[in-house]
């Protein structure tokens, strides 16, 4: 097995072990168990703010005589 493959395999095992330990700690301390989301409720978005008033058009120039 090449050296780079060994390093990648070691990194993969290390990451998997780290994630497993974090998940175990989270379960032990009950992290996330207090979250209660009710997906049956309708979520209403807040109303959009009113648009700003349109600027007045400049007055038309008077015709020259």
Q: What DSSP character marks residue 30?
A: T
Give the pTM: 0.44
Name the more confident of 54 and 16.
Answer: 16
- Of the candidates 22, 3, 2, 25, the one whose C-alpha atom is nearest the C-alpha of residue 14 is 22
The pLDDT of residue 26 = 79
H-assigned helices in the chain: 3-29
What number is the average pLDDT over the span 50-61?
87
pLDDT tens sequence across 8-53: 999 999 999 999 999 888 777 766 666 666 666 677 888 999 999 9
Retrieve residue 18's tokens.
């780290």
């Amino acid at each position: 097995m090449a050296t780079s493959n060994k390093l990648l395999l070691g990194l993969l095992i290390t990451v998997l072990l780290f994630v497993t330990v974090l998940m175990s700690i989270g379960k032990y301390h009950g992290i996330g168990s207090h979250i209660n989301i009710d997906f049956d409720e309708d979520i209403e978005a807040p109303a959009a703010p009113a648009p700003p008033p349109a600027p007045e058009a400049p007055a038309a120039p008077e015709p020259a005589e």
